[in-house]
Amino acid sequence: MSLEEGIALSKRVAPKYAPAWRSKSPREQAAMAMYFLPHGSRKPTLCPTRPRVVKWYCPFADQSRFPSGHRYCINVYTGCSHGCVYCYAAGYQQEQVREKRDFAKLLRMDLADLEEFDVPPAPIHLSNSTDPFQPLEATAGYTRLALREILRHRHRFTSVVILTKNPRLAFESECVDLFHQLHAPSAECFVEVSLAFWRDEVRMMFEPNAPSIADRMEGIRRLRQADVPVVLRIDPLFPRSLLSDGSSNGAYQDANLLQPQTLDDLERLVGFGCDVGAKHIVYSPARIVQPRSRPLSEVMRKMRKVYESMAAPEKLTFRGGSWRLPSANQTEVTEPLRNFCSRLNIPAKCCKQNLLETR
Ligand code: SF4
């Protein structure tokens, strides 16, 4: 495809994605179009849906409302074995966990295309819809493979972000050397670790198959001792007791649920982040995600009742496949965490800010 054909293709990008294109030069717009847009389609407007392993970061985001821009994601596996009951990915994908067919071959083809089209560099994230260090990685090794291939094409990427609930495997799978080699002063490689709960009985309720709290803390400590930058995700955040003094579980008790995060829990989690020298802390209020292929889990059905009683007299909003608290409640949910971070002098970023500031 010639440069002129690439420029013509880039003019057909759907309005939802156009802002990510407009900020680039015509040559860069053509390169992005040739890489992301389906070449043979007769549709007048095109979405970045060309089948790719190194794919457009978020196919759902309207770039005028959520300017995540040109960035990549590799979902190293299909599905995720951690089984988090709040999983956002369950809203749009099947849940069986498996290796991707021809992963290595397709990955190398995509990286060769990035070179051939000379696509401008952008951040790359592993992974949005699966944990790259779930137990399958110990035998399949696709994450190690992907990191090695990214390293071979490092100039095509700015930041390299790895998101996991299993930092211990990230440490033990001999990836630390790769993290160091991928790290650059102006375009970091860092590991984001999700650690939303302080008590393991709560973790078992919400993330039944994910590593224990102690295991994750140990993994984070080892990564930090090896000088790997870590972002701590205390994420997602659930509302606390209806009673402002926190002396009772309130709505949680009525629903026969443990309160997910007490103020003490949050303070300890933030303190842990400070002690290990996390870069910053990421948070977002939890949504009740309707899974695509099954009914809500019992825990999340009960949680929806808790949400309804906390929102009353207002109603929950259902948007993008999930129920959300009214915005005033969401502020109440996140404010104590931000206060603890401010008191302990560690930056706190909401999930969206964290993404947009990853360049
Ligand atoms: S680790 Fe992430 S992708 Fe995996 S089940 Fe939990 S929320 Fe979903």
Same domain, 135 and 35: no
User: Could you tell me the residue range of the domain that residue 110 belongs to?
Assistant: 51-356
**Residue among 52, 296, 42 nearest 32 (CA):** 52
34 and 117 Cβ atoms separated by less than 8 Å: yes
Beta bridge partners of 73: 55, 125
Q: Give yes or no: residues 289 and 204 share one domain.
A: yes
Contact 280, 349 (CB under 8 A): yes
> Strand locations in the chain, DSSP E?
55-56, 72-73, 122-126, 157-164, 189-194, 230-233, 281-283, 288-289, 317-319, 322-324, 348-350
Please identify, by atom number, the ligand 1 atom nearest to the C-alpha of residue 194: 1
Q: Are residues 189 and 100 in the same domain?
A: yes
Claim to verify: residue 115 and residue 253 sit in the same structural domain: yes
Q: Are residues 165 and 264 in the same domain?
A: yes
Q: How much is the pLDDT for 341?
A: 98
Position 243 scores a pLDDT of: 46
Q: Tell me, yes or no, whether 22 and 59 share the same domain.
A: no
Looking at residue 242, what is its pLDDT? 56
Ligand 1: which of 76, 86, 131, 204 to mutate, most ligand atoms within 8 Å of CB?
131
For residue 244, pLDDT beyond 90? no
Q: How far apart are CA 45 and CA 85, in angstroms?
A: 37
Average pLDDT for the chain:
94
Domain count, the chain: 2
pTM of the model: 0.95
Chain centroid, CA 353 distance in Å: 13
Tens of pLDDT, residues 319-359: 989 999 999 999 999 999 999 999 999 999 999 999 999 99
Same domain, 179 and 317: yes
DSSP string, 72-131: EE---SBS-TT--TT-SGGGTS----BPPTTHHHHHHHHHHHHHHHTPPPEEEEE-SSS-
> What are the pLDDT digits (tens) for 248-295?
457 888 888 999 999 999 999 999 999 999 999 999 999 999 998 889
From the CA of 218, how far away is ligand 1's center (Å)?
A: 20
Q: Ligand 1 centroid vs 90 CA: distance in angstroms?
A: 8
Looking at the fold, whether 28 and 109 belong to one and the same domain comes out as no
Helix/strand/coil percent split, the chain, to 5: 40, 15, 45
59 in the same domain as 40:
no
Q: Rounded to the nearest whole angstrom, what is the distance from the C-alpha of residue 132 to the centroid of ligand 1?
A: 10
Distance in angstroms (rounded) separating the CA atoms of residues 86 and 184: 34
Same domain, 17 and 63: no
pLDDT at 176 over 70: yes
Residue 123 CA, distance from chain mean position: 13
CA distance 167 to 39: 39
Average pLDDT, integer, range 120-149: 97
CATH number at residue 200: 3.20.20.70
Q: What percent of the chain has pLDDT over 90?
A: 86
* 287 CA → ligand 1 middle, Å: 14
Q: How confident is the model at residue 94 (pLDDT cuts 50, 70, 90)?
A: confident
Q: Which of 75, 76, 85, 130 to mutate to test the pocket of ligand 1 (most atoms within 8 A of CB)?
A: 130
23 shares a domain with 168: no
Q: Is the pLDDT of residue 32 over 60?
A: yes
What is the distance in A from the centroid of ligand 1 to the CA of 95?
A: 10
CA-proximal residue: ligand 1, atom 8 (nearest): 87
Is residue 322 within 8 Å of residue 289, measured between CB atoms?
yes
Residue 187 confidence (pLDDT): 83
pLDDT band, residue 60 (cuts 50/70/90): confident
CA 7–ligand 1 middle distance (angstroms): 38
Same domain, 178 and 141: yes
